[in-house]
Amino acid sequence: MILNQINAATLWKLKGGKHMATIIKQKDRKLDAVYEPPLVVGFGIDSTTVKNPGMVMGYTTGQAGGRNQRHYHINTAAGIYVVKGRIQMFLGPDHEKKEVILEEGDFVYIPKGEIHGGPNLTDTAVVFCYPDVSNKEEAGTVYMEPPHKE
């Protein structure tokens, strides 16, 4: 415990005594309805809110019947936490595609390059994270199917 306190104090001095945390309030989160339509993505942590964050974190909402088209990320893995609802997720390429049902409280780790996506079975909300990139453009998202039309 003391070692952690010393390390934190040393880091504080190395940062010039400046606050290291950045708080992004919900009202300041940028909503993006174009990135994965018809879902609405609120990017909270990325290079527009934090200088060189080294990760992207956001919150996505969707209505029952909405579909996250199958896609993969060239430059990053993805972590997902299901806050609300049920999602039918398809993982992997067509010849090895697996179906899973995600429910509230489930976590999902998707390795870099793995195809994923699917329909919302109910109204949904998820928190996601892309490590090792600082914005959605760096993630290198490649869509395998066109956006869902409601």
Domain spans of the chain, in order of start:
22-143
Q: Is-contact 129 57, C-beta < 8 A?
A: yes
Give 147's pLDDT tier (boundaries 50, 70, 90): confident
Residue 3 pLDDT greater than 80, yes or no:
no
Give 1's pLDDT tier (boundaries 50, 70, 90): very low
**Residues 76, 84: Cα–Cα separation, whole Å:** 24
Residue 134 pLDDT greater than 80, yes or no:
yes
Q: What is the enclosing helix (H) or strand (E) of 55?
A: strand 55-62
**Residues 27, 4: Cα–Cα separation, whole Å:** 34
Closest CA to 141 of 31, 24, 37, 26: 37
Q: What token pair was written down for 26?
A: 């919900």
pLDDT, tens digit, 9 for 90 and up, residues 29-53: 888 888 888 888 999 999 999 989 9
Half-sphere exposure of 25 (CA within 13 A, CB side): 2
Pick the CATH number of 22-143 from 1.10.10.10, 2.60.40.10, 2.60.120.10, 2.10.70.10: 2.60.120.10
Which pairing describes strands 141-143 and 86-91: parallel, antiparallel, or unpaired?
unpaired
Closest CA to 80 of 34, 117, 32, 123: 117
In eight-state DSSP terms, residue 120 is B
Q: What is the pLDDT of residue 131?
A: 98
pLDDT, tens digit, 9 for 90 and up, residues 73-123: 999 999 999 999 999 999 999 999 999 999 999 999 999 999 999 999 999
> Strand order of the sheet with strand 98-103?
98-103, 86-91, 116-119, 67-73, 141-143
Q: What is the pLDDT of residue 2?
A: 47
For residue 16, the tally of other CB atoms under 10 A from its CB is 6
